[in-house]
Amino acid sequence: MPKKQLVNPYLLAAQAIAPSPANLLVAVDGEGRPNAMTISWGFIGEMWHKPIFIAAVRPSRYTYQLLEETPEFTVNVAYPQLQKALDLCGSKSGRDVDKFKECNLTPIPAQQVKPPLIDECAICYECKVIHTAQAEPHTSHRLYFGEIVACHADPAVIGGLQLAEFPLAK
């Protein structure tokens, strides 16, 4: 057995939602039109024996309305070069602008959920909401517990991790 090394647990876990300090959550409207919103709050873990991504979304966001209508989302881990898109998707609302068009983001079909993946991103999680909770009274965010049903990654970013063997839902 190789000798273990002491590591910072947050840095280790952050590998899964790095390399950017913020990422893009994509949800869709009733016609399947996608909207991307910048998120910096996100948690990956295991609950109910399932891999889960928890996103925190304020009720004022257009994304909130979309998630209430279609409870599926993708989380797209942005390369640092996407900073301009992160800024725009974190300051403009999909009620007013088509952020995919505005940022030249390429939607590609997901395998198991309606919202698309973003081709320009490094890691893309496909999630189905299986539970929600209010974060009140600390904040007004609603927590969306998304079961990760598929995950796609640029091999250069994950550096040899065998993510394909992770026990995702059938």
**Binding-site member from 5, 8, 81, 91 for ligand FMN (CB under 6 A):** 91
Look at strands 72-77 and 107-108 and give their pairing: unpaired
Q: Given the complex with ligand FMN, which of 111 and 134 has the nearer CB atom?
A: 134
Measure the CA–CA gap between 43 and 76, rounded to whole angstroms.
13
Measure the CA–CA gap between 113 and 135, rounded to whole angstroms.
25
Q: Given the complex with ligand FMN, which of 33 and 58 has the nearer CB atom?
A: 58
Please give the DSSP secondary-structure letter assigned to residue 161.
Answer: -
Minimum CB–partner distance for residue 36 and ligand FMN (Å): 8
Using CB under 6 A as the binding rule, whether residue 92 contacts ligand FMN is answered as yes
Q: At 40, list the tokens.
A: 């910096």
- Give the binding range for ligand FMN (CB under 6 A) out of 4-12, 51-59, 106-114, 147-155: 51-59
Using CB under 6 A as the binding rule, whether residue 8 contacts ligand FMN is answered as no
Query: Distance between alpha carbon 116 and the CA centroid of its chain, in Å?
Result: 11
**3-class secondary-structure state, position 39:** strand
Minimum CB–partner distance for residue 141 and ligand FMN (Å): 6
| Whether 117 contacts 110, CB under 8 Å | yes
| Whether 149 contacts 113, CB under 8 Å | yes
Q: Which of residues 21-40 bind ligand FMN (CB under 6 A)?
A: 22, 35, 37-40
Using CB under 6 A as the binding rule, whether residue 111 contacts ligand FMN is answered as no
Query: Which residues of the chain form contacts with ligand FMN (CB under 6 A)?
Result: 22, 35, 37-41, 56-58, 61-63, 90-94, 141
